[in-house]
Structure 1
């Protein structure tokens, strides 16, 4: 059956979301109405298999939908992305015969919202280490104490997927991945006041002995780089869906630049700006840069869906596509601003918001330094001591 993106994200829903995006940004608010409509449309369960109440889409199809959603409201797409990462991980694992995150799939189908609690200030190890304490309890549960940053969906999540370090045996520390529900032991700071992506409300989260029940402790792995399927699943879903959001921003910026070039007329020549050789060359460069992004995402997502084995190269492929998408999107928005002219500098102009939103791309893992280090290690080998 042919995949129809509009069947899962209809045009009228997309336009309603688009109509609210500027107000959400200006108010520095969470897009409650967007989430409510997306939940009603079954969007939170697009990656959940049909036999568990979802749409049964694959990662490549979800990537297309996230690009589509980001053309309307980047912050909404980025916030929902973090929920979709966990449902994506659940699918990646189940496709490989591991059903450890069945509760995520059932929960998403029932309307639960899963957030991503991995990032920590100053922790450039990201998935491979944590400054959060994970203390084991006799019943198999864990108590997590620490601070997570950039927790998207902060006002609305019901389950927070996170990691912490169990150092109860100093000779054998263990990195623990688990899920905690909202409780008094989880404190969300109201500190999200940023340049862009304001609707994500990615606030700081303080964990004060937050309990992950034993049946929500999903992995214990040694600190450091790991080939564990859960770690691979998180990395794959996160990088591909993140690249999709910024690719959506690039597409919307390109469309706005094209529209502006066609509407604006040169006083010097009397012709539309679309006939100006310099404008044409700039728009052509934007188009050439954009055209490279969707096929890359589609190919890698399809490889994940089809269980391709890229071995050690997976991490440079995945971090690379994220880096290229965010860097290209930023360059495309920059050029779109120049094509559109001075009006794009006003806050009421959509390109002004996209210009601010796209800047967040460089801060997500893998950041440019990490992506280049990963590629260098693959091609040249690790740094010598």
Structure 2
């Protein structure tokens, strides 16, 4: 049975979270009170089985939850996404008979918070190569030395999933493992001062020999594209949950545009609300149709991930295309809402002004537009010829 997002995130909690978002943004401050409230609601245990104290959610459930949370506070939703990515990957693997990340769900059930320490400045190979050094230890663990960017939940994570490249063997290998906050070998830079998504506090993390013990090393893979289930799981959950957050932003922007059209009055037409103006009605209809187009695509992808559907080689095309379409749609809808709402939305402190800045972060998450189009073109047309 599907979870009811309004039962997990009741309206009173949504309004509480929404009320804090402007202050977090203005002060460039981590969303600690939101996180505490979400922990209390069991939100970070969404993918954990009910028997272990979780919500027992599937991907389709969490997509709906993240859409709803993003309508209250996009930066909070985006940061929580990173924890949900790892727990979602663990769930996806477990559903397909792979227990290598079972400890992630066990530790999430115990209250641990997971960060996603993967992105590296200048590494456009993303999951298929790394400029972080992974050095084997005598006990089977690995130490990691390198710099990871956009590590959300910086003030709060207790576990970080990361990867690096081991060049000590005959062939280089990409090593995936998990480090702990209470162990040495890492530090954050206080460098998160951005245009939008400020409450996420996605600071740079410098790894300086941080060790993942042998029982937290989950993969050694060849450099380059590889059909390993972990790689698919990370890509699938990351792209789908990103699309959910930005779809939530679009939905909220549409709501604000509708409210503005009812609230604003036209002097030229004798004080009639703009909701009766044919041009404004056309513009809002365009926004609504854009939102209506992305939601079914998002729901279908999430449902197929839950069902273990086989889309074959089209999976990467559909996932990267979904993320690209969701972020571009959200940007267009927020832009349209700004036009409908009038000059008041241009002032600092308006919710639309904040959404206008927050939605721009969608440009920078993988897959970027160039990568998404390359992936789709390769699937449809075949690879480039030498």
Tell me the TM-score range normalised by the shorter chain. Answer: over 0.9
**SS of 1:127's equivalent?**
helix
When the two chains are superposed, the root-mean-square deviation of aligned CA atoms in Å is 0.8
- Please give the alpha-carbon distance, in whole angstroms, between the structure 2 residues aligned to 1:86 and 1:196: 24
Task: Give the Å deviation of 1:175.
Answer: 0.5
C-alpha distance in structure 1 between counterparts of 2:53 and 2:131, whole Å: 36
Report the equivalent of 2:306. 305
**Aligned equivalent of 2:274:** 273
Q: Contact (CA 8 Å) 1:113, 1:159: kept in 2 or not?
A: yes
Distance apart, 1:103 and its partner CA: 1.1
Q: Distance in 1 between matches of 2:383 and 2:29?
A: 44
Q: Normalized against structure 1, the TM-score is what?
A: 0.99
**Which segment drifts farther, 291-300 or 344-353?**
291-300
| Aligned positions of 1:123-202 closer than 5 A | 123-169=123-169, 171-182=170-181, 183-202=183-202
Q: How does 1:249-328 map to 2 (within 5 A)?
A: 249-270=249-270, 271-328=272-329
SS state at 2:155 partner:
coil
**Shift of residue 294 of structure 1?**
1.6
**Misfit runs of 4+, over 6 Å:** none
Partner of residue 66, structure 1: 66
The yes-or-no answer on 1:88 pairing with 2:88 is yes
Q: Which residue of 1 aligns with 2:237?
A: 237
Question: Are residue 362 (structure 1) and residue 355 (structure 2) matched?
Answer: no
1:337-377 per-residue CA deviation (whole Å, 9 max, x = no partner) reads: 00000000001110000000000001000011100000011
Instruction: Quote how far apart the aligned CAs of 1:2 are.
Output: 4.9
Report the counterpart of residue 378 of structure 1 in structure 2.
379
| 8 Å Cα contact 2:3-2:57 kept in structure 1 | no
Give the match for residue 33 of structure 1: 33
SS at match of 1:184: coil
Q: Distance in 2 between matches of 1:86 and 1:275?
A: 47
2:247 alignment counterpart: 247
Deviations 1:27-57 (A, max 9, x none): 0010000000100110000111223321111
Distance apart, 1:184 and its partner CA: 3.0
SS of residue matched to 1:292 = helix
Please report how far the alpha carbon of residue 140 of structure 1 lies from its aligned counterpart in structure 2 after TM superposition. 0.6
Alignment deviations for residues 137-188 of structure 1 (CA, whole Å, 9 cap, x no partner): 121100000000000001110011011001112x311111111112331110
Unmatched segments (≥5 aa) in structure 1: none
- The CA deviation string for residues 180-227 of structure 1, in whole angstroms up to 9 with x for no partner, is 112331110000000000000000000000000111101111111111
Contact 1:152 1:201 in 2 (8 A): yes
Would you say the 8 A contact 1:52–1:105 is kept in 2? no
**Partners of 2:84 and 2:50 in 1: how far apart?**
16
Separation in 1, partners of 2:7, 2:344: 35
SS in 1 for 2:354: helix
Checking the alignment, whether the CA contact within 8 Å between 1:53 and 1:106 is kept in structure 2 is: no
Does residue 22 (structure 1) correspond to residue 10 (structure 2)? The answer is: no
- Which residue in 1 is equivalent to 2:75? 75
The equivalent of 1:220 in structure 2 is 220
Residue pair 1:114, 1:158 contacting (<8 A) in 2 also: yes
- Whether the aligned pair in 1 keeps the contact of 2:2 and 2:61 (CA below 8 Å) is no
